[in-house]
Amino acid sequence: MTPAAPQSSPPPPAPAQPSWRRVRPGRRALSKREREVLTLVVQGLTNKEIGGRLFLSEDTVKTHVRRIIAALEAKDRTNAAALAVHRRLLPDLQLQD
């Protein structure tokens, strides 16, 4: 008879990830800059206003917004903002009542 193989313990659970890092299969996580842009979109700023705050051109902001919409599989920027709030993707977001 051969000796039984030693029982190995199950691997430890994976550490909890921030909500903005949790991504469904087929989706990518938002970059830090995309999260900054999305925060300002949720607050209702225009592309021009976002560009002014983050020192970006309006075209660069538009690119970030397009990539955010694609990553969240949103219909438009309003839907992306709603999804961000619903999914709690922006933990530092301060919404006004």
- Per-residue pLDDT tens digits for 28-42: 899 999 999 999 999
**Residue closest to 77 by CA, chosen among 65, 89, 87, 88:** 65
Residue 24 in this model has a pLDDT that exceeds 70: no
Q: What is the pTM (predicted TM-score) of this model?
A: 0.72
Q: How many domains does the chain have?
A: 1
Place of tokens 């550490």: 15
Give domain status of residue 9, yes or no.
Answer: no
Residue 20 in this model has a pLDDT that exceeds 80: no
**Residue closest to 80 by CA, chosen among 94, 92, 68:** 68
Give domain status of residue 20, yes or no.
Answer: no
Report pLDDT for 26.
Answer: 58
Report pLDDT for 9.
Answer: 73
Give domain status of residue 57, yes or no.
Answer: yes
Report pLDDT for 94.
Answer: 73
Give residue 38's domain range. 28-86
Give domain status of residue 16, yes or no.
Answer: no
